Structures are given as C-alpha cells and as structure tokens.
Amino acid sequence: MSTADTRLELTIDVVALPAQRALALASLTPPELVAAALAEFRELAYLGDQAADYQLLRAGGEPLDEERPLAAQLTGGERLALAERPLAIPQGAAPLRHALYLRERGGQVFRLPWAPAVIGRPDPGLAGNELIAVNLSAHPAGQRVSRRHAQILERGGQYLVERLSPNPTAVVGNDGQTTPVEDAPVPIGHGDTLLLERSQIALTFLVRDETGQ
C-alpha cells in the first residue's frame, strides 16, 4: 500500500471533547487533518471553521510540525489534542476564567479570550483596535455595525454587555425576553443572544464549560 493510501489510527481530544477515534491518511499535513476534524465535529457550537485558528498537539503539549505529513511524525496509536491557538492578551485587557464565544446565525464563531472584548470594526484612526475580539468588518451587514459597537465585560463572575455607541443593541434571553442595552451594562448568560439591531446580526453567547462538552 502506498503512503498516500496508508491510514494512521489516532485518538484526538477535540478541544473539550476527549478521545475521538480517527483513521487519518498518513499523507495529510496537520493543517489538513485539522480542517477535516473541524468539518467532522461542526455540530459543536463553539468550534469554528477556520483551520488556522487551531493546532494539533502531542500528549506533552508539543505542536506537530505543520509542514511535514503525519507519516513523518507519527506511527499510529498516538493521542493528539486539537487545541485553539493561544492568543496574546492585549494591553488594557485581562484573560477570562471561562472559554467564551459568540456564534453568529450563519455559523461563524468568534472567541472571546479577554475582557473587555470589543465588538465592532477596526479603524486605524481610532485607538483600541487590539481589543476587538469580534471583527464584523467582513460580514455582509458589517457596515451597519459601529466601529466600537459594544463590549463584553466580566465583573464579579458575571458577564455583561456594555454599549459603546448609540447603535441599538439588545440582549435576548433564553425566555425570549428582550432587554435593550442602554445606559447601564446588561447581564448576558450562556445561550442568550446579543442582537445588533440595525444590522440584524444575532450572536449567541456561549460559555464552553456550560455546554456539557
């Protein structure tokens, strides 16, 4: 059997979903295996679709060489971890205790690695671009989103939405109740939806520790 047809039996911890069995083509590179895993587990609400946002780690935490095929690095029977690439915490922000995400109805997933996590669009004429965790400039309705639209805060173990512009914003709870974000920050919890009303962009707030996965 040629190397192109050989498969390696692996066990992969997919972010927070452990011990997933995989038969991977030995000719694949790690980024190609990452892309295949993201497609296979796309039902996980917090999992994005951009392979560049993830990496494969050995059991000891060492990343695989992304330029070399699996056959040159693994023998089979090994355990790997599909992990989110670490992001540097920008100045003026603090790391969060939980893994947080905003998931757009179309499926795009935005990680919230720090607080304040700004939602908006970068602008070289404004300060604080490094705090933008949810960049909506490429969204079809993104031009209706303020450059500094809103931000996610953490205070005393609670997550809050604070508006940064007069552009209407609301939190829609699991019970369907809508709370406008006005002068004071509004609490947001797992499963609630952040609605950017002018653009009609809806982002579901996810706390990975509460998904049960």
Rounded Cα gap, residues 138 and 51, in angstroms: 18
pLDDT at residue 3 in the model: 52
pLDDT at residue 131 in the model: 97
Which CATH entry fits the domain spanning 7-84: 3.90.640.10, 1.25.40.10, 3.90.79.10, 3.10.20.90? 3.10.20.90
Instruction: Give 63: exposed, middle or buried? Use CB within 10 Å, 0-12, 13-18, 19+.
Output: middle
Q: What is the pLDDT of residues 23-40, one digit of tens each?
A: 999 999 999 999 999 999
Residues of the chain with pLDDT under 70: 1-4, 106, 210-213
102 contacts: CB under 8 Å, gap ≥ 6: 109, 110, 112, 119, 134, 152, 194, 203, 204, 205, 206
pTM: 0.90
pLDDT at residue 211 in the model: 53
- For the chain, which residues make up each domain, given as ranges? 7-84, 94-210
pLDDT at residue 212 in the model: 47
Which CATH entry fits the domain spanning 94-210: 1.10.10.10, 3.10.20.90, 2.40.110.10, 2.60.200.20? 2.60.200.20
